[in-house]
Structure 1
Amino acid sequence: AKPTINSREILFNPLSKLITRVISSLNSTDASPQIKADAKGLADKIRGFGLSKPKAAPPADGTTPPDADFVSKSHLGFVQRADNFKSLIELLKTEPAYTPNEADLTTASLATL
């Protein structure tokens, strides 16, 4: 199981930087603000931005808050990241203005990855 996990980690390691480049490329187009916002939302899920555990204030009576208050919103599992990556590619395919000059940022290259 450990070699499989290591292989996945190696495969997913460069994903965050690639996603940042994709979003930068999209933002340089005249795509609609809604498409850009949707893409950024998916990108943030893939990269894990803004998805930390919520911080709840301790109850006034001094008791410990229930664990439900500390459920992680993170979607950084391999399956979740892959699903969000696929959703991002599908979104980019709907945007005719997304035509990056870099070959590795095209929707065809991203889908192959």
Structure 2
Amino acid sequence: MSDRDPCGPVVAGAWSSTDPGATVTVYIWTQVTQGQHEHAPCPVHVSEDPVRRREWTIQRRNICRLFGESDHHPHYRQLKTLLHPLIAQLSDTIDRNKTPRSGPW
């Protein structure tokens, strides 16, 4: 896990109804992979619709920024506190169960 902020700036007024849970998975993905949120996988049901994809992209950036600024947002600080043990457990499970892949992926 990393304490760095992988997110871009918050875009004002950019909250949509795409799927708030999907954006939390982006935060988890950035912590587990130590990657940038822009590279996080987009849910299929969102990626198939250009309007929803645009909304999700903005929402993803905003939620990630809010997690990064959790000192100013107590509810995100509390959520991070709840998520970090799960993120650590997920990272450990993935690291322990690494197996070579076969096939096209």
Higher RCO structure, 1 or 2 (CA under 8 Å, sep 6+) = 2
TM-score, normalised relative to structure 1: 0.26
TM-score, normalised relative to structure 2: 0.27
